[in-house]
Amino acid sequence: MKVIICGAGQVGFNIARYLAQEDNEVTVIDQSAELTRKISDTLDVKAIHGLASHPNVLAQAGAADADMLIAVTQADEVNMVACQVAHSLFEVTTKIARIRQQGYLEDKWANLYSRDHMPIDVVISPELEVARAVARRLQVPGAFDMISLVDGKVKLTGVRCGDDCPVVNTPLRQLTQLFPDLNVTIVGIVRDNTPIIPAADDHMLPGDEVYFVADSAHVERAMAVFGHEESEARRMVIFGGGNIGEFLAGEIETNHPSVNLKVVENGKSRAEQVARSLKRSVVLQGSVLDTEILEEANVSSAEAVVAVTNDDETNILASLLAKSMGAQRAITLINSATYMPLTPSLGIDVVVSPRNITVSTILQHVRRGRIHSVHTIRDGFGEIIEAEAMETSNLVGVPLKETELPDNVLVGAIVRDDEVIVPRSDTIIQVNDRVVLFAAAESVREVEKMFSVRLEYF
pLDDT tens digits, one per residue of 366-411:
766 577 888 888 767 888 989 888 888 888 899 998 888 888 899 9
> What's residue 58's pLDDT?
97
Q: Between the ranges 159-168, 307-316, 418-427, 438-447, where is the mean pLDDT highest?
A: 307-316
CA distance 69 to 86: 7
**pLDDT band for position 332 (cuts 50, 70, 90):** very high
Q: CB of 249 within 8 A of CB of 281? A: yes
**pLDDT band for position 141 (cuts 50, 70, 90):** confident
Identify the bridge partners of residue 72 per DSSP, sorted by sequence position.
none
Helix (H/G/I), strand (E/B), else coil: 185:
strand
394-398 own/partner pairs: CB under 8 Å, 24+ apart: 394/450, 395/429, 395/435, 395/450, 395/451, 396/429, 396/430, 396/431, 397/428, 397/429, 397/430, 398/428
Amino acid in position 435: V
What are the Cα distances from residue 134, in Å, to 263, 331, 350?
15, 8, 9
Across all residues in the chain, what is the average pLDDT?
89
First to last CA, the chain: 13
Radius of gyration of the chain (CA): 23
**pLDDT band for position 453 (cuts 50, 70, 90):** low
> What's residue 458's pLDDT?
34
**pLDDT band for position 132 (cuts 50, 70, 90):** confident
In terms of residues, how long is the chain?
Answer: 458
> What's residue 114's pLDDT?
81
For every residue of 340-385, DSSP letters joined together read GGGHHHHT--EEE-HHHHHHHHHHHHH--SSEEEEEEETTTTEEEE
> What's residue 369's pLDDT?
58
CA distance 429 to 417: 13
Q: CB of 36 within 8 A of CB of 28? A: yes
Question: Which strand (E) or helix (H) includes residue 387?
Answer: strand 382-388
> What's residue 354's pLDDT?
86
CA distance 142 to 225: 12
Is the predicted pLDDT of residue 455 greater than 60, yes or no?
no
CA distance 197 to 186: 9
Average pLDDT, stretch 189-213? 90
> What's residue 271's pLDDT?
96
Kind of pairing between the strands at 194-196 and 25-30 = unpaired
- Answer whether 0.85 is exceeded by the pTM: no
**pLDDT band for position 447 (cuts 50, 70, 90):** confident
Tell the burial category of 231 from Cβ atoms under 10 Å away from its Cβ (0-12, 13-18, 19+): exposed
Select from 257, 247, 272 the least CA-distant residue to 130. Answer: 247
DSSP assignment letter at 234? S
The residues, ordered by sequence, that sit 6+ positions from 427 with a Cβ below 8 Å of its Cβ are: 399, 400, 411, 414, 421
